[in-house]
Structure 1
Amino acid sequence: MPIKFRFRWIPFIATIIAVAVGISLGQWQTRRAAEKLAIERKLSTREAATPMVLSTGRPSIDEVEYRRVRVSGQFVQDWPVYLDNRPHQGAAGFHLLMPFRIAGSDMHLLVARGWVKRDTADRTRLPEIATPKGTIELEGIARRNAGQVLQLGQPEPLKPGAIVQNLDIAELERATKLPMQAFVLEQTSDTGDGLVRDWLRPSTGVDKHRGYAFQWYALAATAFLFYVVTGLRRGKH
């Protein structure tokens, strides 16, 4: 008996939607992988360069991003901010951020000092962390921001010792009345405070994006094949 294809509108429309969604999301994941590769190339180039010494200037974020930066000054002791939902090796914890006044200037720099484990019995209890006093020298990697996570609920007004999901430099500048550089310094130098400085590279996850892209493309191909196979019928009916 001859094999005929039976066209039906509802399966056809459903297949078109599934294929379009699969291809679209696969392309998005492919672009994300390409963006991560570009970031890694930029990171490798800029990390190999001589550290930028930050003083009284105000470099643009495009000029300084991913570069090693060296700066002298002192921490603003009374303005710690804790970024919540920053796990490390499976443990819940905070990233401690603090303004840093640049020596010989009124300008300040937001420093991501490191990670610390949180008290799981009392989630509002803040850890005691030693902060160097006086003028010190720091070195780290310049980042556009301190990283973003899903914002849960409406954040409260920023204050010293606040536990927040995300932190915007402009918001910190308004709350502290301190002029701030337009980037964050992920501290890499040791200041004897016991904080963990195992920073996640922004280029991490290329293979994950490629894997997701393959899954979405496979979904599109499966939907199309399913439509073709189920539309084939033998005989006259």
Structure 2
Amino acid sequence: MCATMAVAAAGIILGQWQTHRAEEKLGIQHRMEARAKEQPLRVLPSGADDQEFRHVLLEGEFLPQWTLYLENRPHEGAVGFHVLTAFKIAGAQQVVMVARGWAPRDAAERTRVPQPPLPQGMTRIDGVLRRDAGHVLQLGQADVPRPGAILQNLDLVALAAASGLPLAPYVVELRAAPSGVDDGLARDWPAPSLGIDRHRGYAVQWYAMAAMAIVFFLVTGFRRGRNDKN
């Protein structure tokens, strides 16, 4: 009896936790949708947590020497890179890493990186604020960021230390190429995976386990009672 009730209680508690997580992530999804409709920001906010997914229009200059390539980023079944370049904000000391888009990897020479053109001088970028550039499974020790490096993940703190740049703690994903530049990069960025349906599915499984434990307890108790009477 005690074991059965413990299983039922655990199932209910874990089911409630998964339901709560689904509700939290549903709230995040609603905030994403609301921020996408707000007026674009023309200055960088002080923090990314409260402003992630905001549309931004920023003016400044690209720093082409600090272009990095994030590998293991597939697109429509093809292997390739996400190309990122530092961007100095006009009239400020702040620099932000800009995810410019996706480019295919050279199948013959894997260390050869694409060189999509960049605008020269002052330019305007149209993008969306993100807290990071996304993560993939890190294989081995992360390399120290250096100009033109191929990396698995972008560590903004490590990059700021290596480059000496006053980096903002977020990334801007471009929505379109800067005006007058045909860089050939793909920019249909993957939507963040919130896993709402997964949490709901887990909640159903835990609730079902609790229900089965209760039914088992009732059935075995009924049978035990009949046997005692006989």
Shift of 1:72: 0.9
Q: How many Å separate the matches in 1 of 2:8 and 2:137?
A: 27
Aligned to 2:29: 40
Shift of 1:175: 1.1
The TM-score normalised by the length of structure 1 is: 0.77
Shift of 1:100: 0.4
Task: Point out which structure has higher relative CO (alpha carbons under 8 A, 6+ apart).
Answer: 1
Aligned to 1:218: 208
Aligned to 2:186: 196
Aligned to 2:87: 100
Shift of 1:169: 1.8
Aligned to 1:86: 73
Structure 2 unmatched ranges of 5 or more: none
C-alpha distance 162-38 of structure 1, shift in aligned 2 (>3 A) = same
C-alpha distance 166-26 of structure 1, shift in aligned 2 (>3 A) = farther
> CA offsets per residue over residues 159-181 of structure 1, 9 Å max, x none?
12222222122221111101112
C-alpha distance 156-218 of structure 1, shift in aligned 2 (>3 A) = same
Residues 67 and 141 of structure 1 are in contact (CA less than 8 Å); yes or no, is this contact kept in structure 2? yes
Aligned to 1:143: 130
Q: What secondary structure, in the 3-state scheme, does the structure 2 residue paired with 1:207 have?
A: helix
Alignment of 1:5-16 (within 5 A): 12=3, 16=6
Matched, 1:158 2:145: yes
Identity %: 48
> CA offsets per residue over residues 182-213 of structure 1, 9 Å max, x none?
22111112232111111233365422332343
Letter in 1 for 2:142: P
Residues 74 and 103 of structure 1 are in contact (CA less than 8 Å); yes or no, is this contact kept in structure 2? yes
Q: Which moved more, 1:134-143 or 1:222-231?
A: 222-231
Structure 1 residue ranges, 4+ long, deviating more than 6 angstroms after superposition: 226-236
Residues 144 and 158 of structure 2 are in contact (CA less than 8 Å); yes or no, is this contact kept in structure 1? no
Shift of 1:230: 8.4
Matched, 1:207 2:197: yes
C-alpha distance 181-23 of structure 1, shift in aligned 2 (>3 A) = same
Letter in 1 for 2:186: V
Letter in 1 for 2:37: A
Shift of 1:140: 0.9
Q: How many Å separate the matches in 1 of 2:206 and 2:78?
A: 31
Q: How many Å separate the matches in 1 of 2:211 and 2:87?
A: 54
Structure 1 unmatched ranges of 5 or more: 1-6
Q: CA RMSD in A?
A: 3.1
> CA offsets per residue over residues 79-114 of structure 1, 9 Å max, x none?
112223322333333222211011223321111111
Q: What secondary structure, in the 3-state scheme, does the structure 2 residue paired with 1:52 have?
A: coil
Q: How many Å separate the matches in 1 of 2:113 and 2:58?
A: 27
Shift of 1:226: 6.6
The TM-score normalised by the length of structure 2 is: 0.79
Shift of 1:121: 5.2
Matched, 1:53 2:53: no
Q: What secondary structure, in the 3-state scheme, does the structure 2 residue paired with 1:167 have?
A: coil
Letter in 2 for 1:38: G
Match of 2:121 among 115, 134, 144: 134
> CA offsets per residue over residues 2-45 of structure 1, 9 Å max, x none?
xxxxx7x9xx48x956973x556544543332222111221222
